[in-house]
Structure 1
């Protein structure tokens, strides 16, 4: 099972095995990772699952789709080049070792 590492604002890390086909957001929610609110349940409609993908692993991800790109303009924390909605990141075997950093706030 791929391992995803979630890094909080205070640099605390949690590495979690997330099943293939599950979103990075659901991996966080199912494992009580603080910092992912996910108010819309993973429908790319609220931007409360915003993460910053670590630059060392960002090249493994497909480009953001138009809906995700639009919602990233409404994040509570600043949008950066590495910003993504974790609900739109489906875990594959290729994402084993993905590192995501949680923003200071989600809403």
Structure 2
């Protein structure tokens, strides 16, 4: 689709698959001095779409950097979060007892499910 000298160009993509999540951390060079790192939900039902992990909103946000080295730092940080953290949902839909809503934790403790 793209020749080797054109953009966008994939710099690194790393899948993270566990029993509760299927994510890909992707870093792409969009243009000269423009790299984006994104966390994607690869599950068929996109159950973590819009949830948070490691400073990213899954499928929704990216971190832009001007150099490959800085972008790779973001990639490693996002990859560490994807491997070690569980995604947590936005505030909507939580009950009053949820420790996430009260600001006590970054993890949902809803009685109606939430993040594991």
Q: TM-score, normalising length from structure 1?
A: 0.33
More strand by share: 2
| Rg larger for | 2
More helix by share: 1
Q: TM-score, normalising length from structure 2?
A: 0.32
